[in-house]
Amino acid sequence: MKKIKSGIYGLNELLDGGINENSTTVVIGSSGAGKTTFATQFIRRGLEGGQEGIFVSLDENKEQIIREAVEMGWSEILEYLDKELLVFIDASGREFSTFIKKELPAFVSDWGGSRARIAIDPLTPVMWSTKDPYEQRDLISFMLKEMRKVGTVLSTLEEHGGTGDLSGTETIIPMYLADCVIHLRYIPLEGGVSRTMKIVKCRSSRHSELSHPYYIMKGLGLVVEKGDFEKGTTDKIPQEMKKKLLEKKSDIPPQVFSRLEKALDELKDVDFKDMKASNLIESILNEYSGE
Ligand SMILES: Nc1ncnc2c1ncn2[C@@H]1O[C@H](COP(=O)(O)OP(=O)(O)OP(=O)(O)O)[C@@H](O)[C@H]1O
Ligand SMILES: [Mg+2]
């Protein structure tokens, strides 16, 4: 799986190097969590690396989003817009089913390439455009699939209530459909705010399961602290297991043995969490004993 850099300092380490290319990511957060900033950083990082950007706004208008980006210190966005390397689609206030089923596919077939970065900010108005969960699912699924044809998709989703409960239909449907889900937990406190980021799921990628403090800083945008997530690259445990299994090679069918070796080469210490490697070896040997 090819990885692309997220544009958020500190996040790539938590995602085994970055976001999978041509995947779909949903960033969930309440108002003020930093969703639009996240989406802008993702697009901006692509532009820096020579990728094109498509910003689909379903809520705020183009001027407002650009104003906020410039205010953040990212005025080069204006040059990218001028050169048409960044394309802005303002769908705020539109009839979403026509927009998604007709206009987007026309846009996609005109586009040509498949290496752009697409930000959709936020998906929530599409969820609100109909009460029927089947139609909601159909619209979101169709939209994500279409946009994925032209590149890597990142969409945001509003979280209401602020309790951190992601089990409502409004969040569940987009979460199921996305490959990767990132939750920005934002709690306004007296005299400050608390911001923590958690990767809820990420298909086809190893990822941190911890909560990470993040900050929003002028000029840098969202910045994540990787904290204790340090074990990402070491592989002492699986290599040690390989040695132990080698001693028992004759107890394991040969084709299974080579598959196990291969699997262990792909694992890192972080994958083992609190699991005891010695117990796992025992279970493996038990599985094939007597064969
Ligand atoms: N220029 C800036 N300098 C410093 N901090 C900023 C700047 N712009 C935004 N922020 C911080 O980012 C926060 C909001 O970010 P953003 O607009 O991305 O949130 P959001 O999740 O998209 O909110 P909403 O749901 O209301 O659209 C602000 O409340 C502020 O704390
Ligand atoms: Mg926003």
pLDDT at 219: 94
What is the model's pTM?
Answer: 0.90
Q: Which two tokens stand for residue 226?
A: 């990787």
Q: Of the candidates 213, 66, 55, 167, which has an alpha carbon nearest to the alpha carbon of residue 122?
A: 55
Q: Whose CA is nearest to atom 11 of ligand 1?
A: 216
Domain extents in the chain? 3-229, 232-288
- Report the C-alpha gap between 255 and 15 in whole angstroms: 31
Which of these, 153, 141, 145, 158, lies nearest to 180 by C-alpha position?
153
List per-residue pLDDT tens for the chain, 291 residues long: 899 999 999 999 999 999 999 999 999 999 999 999 999 999 999 999 999 999 999 998 899 999 999 999 999 999 999 999 999 999 988 899 999 999 999 999 999 899 999 999 999 999 999 999 999 999 999 999 999 999 999 999 999 876 778 888 889 999 999 999 999 999 888 888 899 999 999 999 989 989 999 999 999 999 999 887 765 678 999 999 999 999 999 999 999 999 999 999 989 888 888 889 999 999 999 999 887
Q: How far is the CA of 178 from the centre of ligand 1 (A)?
A: 24
Task: From 8, 28, 35, give the residue whose CB has the most ligand 1 atoms within 8 Å, as the site to mutate.
Answer: 35
Q: Which residue's structure tokens are 């910045």?
A: 223
Ligand 1 atom nearest to CA at 121: 22
Tell me the CA–centroid distance for residue 32 and ligand 1, in Å: 5
Question: Contacts for 78-84 with beta carbons within 8 Å, 24 or more apart?
Answer: 80/47, 80/53
CA distance 262 to 130: 48
Cβ of residue 124 lying under 6 Å from some atom of ligand 1:
no
Gap from CA of 59 to ligand 2 centroid (Å): 8
CATH assignment of 3-229?
3.40.50.300
Give the closest residue to 199 by CA, choosing from 183, 186, 215.
Answer: 183
| DSSP secondary structure, 188-212, as one string | EETTEEEEEEEEEEETTS----SEE
Q: What is the pLDDT of residue 227?
A: 80
CB of 35 sitting under 6 A from ligand 1: yes
Tell me what pLDDT residue 230 has.
63
Instruction: Tell me how far the alpha carbon of residue 218 lies from the centroid of ligand 1, in angstroms.
Output: 10
What distance in Å separates the CA atoms of residue 123 and residue 36, rounded to the nearest whole number?
Answer: 12
